Structure 1
Amino acid sequence: MISSLRGTVLRASGAELVIEVAGVGYLVSVTPEHALALRVGDEALVHTALIVREDALSLFGFEDVERLDVFQLLLGVNGVGPKSALGVLSALTPDQIARAVQSDDDAVFRKVSGIGPKTAKLIVVQLAGKLHVVAPAAAAPAAKQKTTVGDDVRVALVGLGWPEKVAADAVAEVLAELGDAAADATAASVPALLRRALAVLGPAAQHQPAGAGR
């Protein structure tokens, strides 16, 4: 049983590799993507399955053990031969195969050349519970959006009764007046900006807050 080969790539074309190990060149059937990833002269490690037939010994190779394991599981499905199994792995990743099986979706397998509707359904049925679905990475909780000093001053003005737009305009005017000085922590502190904004807004008699005088 040849379970892996490590050697120099003598040929990489189509869906085949020739790998030289100790002076012997081994012809290995692989996915087109795998063949494209290698160049003549590269050292490659290929995990292999030896398929024995009455008229031939054939090697099928994969870049990792996970794909090899899925290949061997596919071979256990009625009607799936080594070329069809390699075709499935040429079209789908192991995780995509596992998810399709888990969701009882045989449509993805029907799209693979050489896999008919009956065989596609058998893949789903016979591989159920045999494949591991990789859980998606948990999404990092969204960082709480930081409020700027200007936002804090605007909220304070609204809390004092000024309309939202009036408060926002006053804060924008103050920040524009400060210019580069707005980067100074003292000048751009909430109390300092609030005092400036209130000065811009002027006496309550001239710029009456919302709800005043009721």
Structure 2
Amino acid sequence: MITQIRGKLVEKNPTDVVMDCNGVGYLLHISLNTFTALPSDENVTLYSHLVVREDAHILYGFITKTEREVFKLLISVSGVGPSIARTMLSSMTSEEIQQAIASENVHVIQAVKGIGAKTAQRVIVDLKDKIMKTFDMDEVSVHTNNTNKDEALSALEVLGFQRKQSEKIVNAIVKEHPEASIEKIIKLALKNL
């Protein structure tokens, strides 16, 4: 299996890149998060996963090993193929996916295009224990973190801020300060809104 590719970026699109490795061009399908993190045309390393089907061998590229690991876990779930997994990784960061699964937040997972209620529940049932073990998460911090985030978002909504705009900022704050209290999250969010 091809586990990583190091080379020069020849083409860069939101859904795929072509990397030149000693004269051979490799097409790698990527998420929007990987696209955003990639430099223009320098030598880069992408961690990869090869999906073999009857009619094609498809290479997926990831900017971090964590993103690749989340992708592999997602495609292990029945009903979640590589396309849906890539869409999830384009809609949310790998950390947000881990948090949503660990905290059993069906609505966040279901908000991704192509995922219905049953698939979202299956993702949680199949992956919660694996996510908790693989990324060394504990139950207490997951639920405290999620409750504080939800409370802060509700408070910001009451103050008149749009939920979608607030959510991005609050997610970044919670990621940077996982043990932050509701008050601290709100104060930091107000500075950035």
TM interval, shorter chain, is: 0.5 to 0.7
**How many Å separate the matches in 2 of 1:40 and 1:108?**
32
2:84 alignment partner AA: S
Contact persistence 2:37–2:63 (CA under 8 A): no
What is the CA distance between 1:105 and its match in structure 2? 1.1
What is the CA distance between 1:79 and its match in structure 2? 0.1
2:14 alignment partner AA: G
Matched, 1:106 2:106: yes
- 1:78 counterpart residue number: 78
1:46-88: per-residue Cα shift (whole Å, max 9, x none)?
A: 0000000111110111111111111000011010000101111
**How many Å separate the matches in 2 of 1:65 and 1:37?**
14
Q: Do the aligned partners of residues 99 and 138 (structure 1) sit closer, same or farther apart at CA in structure 2, a change above 3 Å counting?
A: closer
Structure 2, unmatched stretches of 5+, are 142-176, 181-193
TM-score, normalised with respect to structure 2: 0.67
- 2:54 counterpart residue number: 54
**How many Å separate the matches in 2 of 1:45 and 1:38?**
10
Contact persistence 1:31–1:87 (CA under 8 A): yes
1:3-45: per-residue Cα shift (whole Å, max 9, x none)?
A: 1000000000121110011110100010123223334421110
**How many Å separate the matches in 2 of 1:32 and 1:21?**
22
Contact persistence 1:100–1:106 (CA under 8 A): yes
- 2:95 counterpart residue number: 95
- 1:129 counterpart residue number: 129
**How many Å separate the matches in 2 of 1:40 and 1:11?**
9
TM-score, normalised with respect to structure 1: 0.61
Between the two proteins, the alignment pairs up a number of residues equal to: 140
Q: Do the aligned partners of residues 138 and 112 (structure 1) sit closer, same or farther apart at CA in structure 2, a change above 3 Å counting?
A: closer
Name the SS for the 1:98 alignment partner: helix
What is the CA distance between 1:137 and its match in structure 2? 4.7
Contact persistence 2:30–2:86 (CA under 8 A): yes
- 1:4 counterpart residue number: 4
Mark the structure with the bigger radius of gyration.
Answer: 1
**How many Å separate the matches in 1 of 2:100 and 2:39?**
33
> Which is helix-richer, 1 or 2?
2
Name the SS for the 1:8 alignment partner: strand
**How many Å separate the matches in 2 of 1:36 and 1:106?**
26
1:97-144: per-residue Cα shift (whole Å, max 9, x none)?
A: 1221222111111111111111111011100111134965556xxxxx
Q: Do the aligned partners of residues 94 and 37 (structure 1) sit closer, same or farther apart at CA in structure 2, a change above 3 Å counting?
A: closer
**How many Å separate the matches in 1 of 2:40 and 2:26?**
14
Contact persistence 2:6–2:21 (CA under 8 A): yes
Contact persistence 1:11–1:40 (CA under 8 A): no
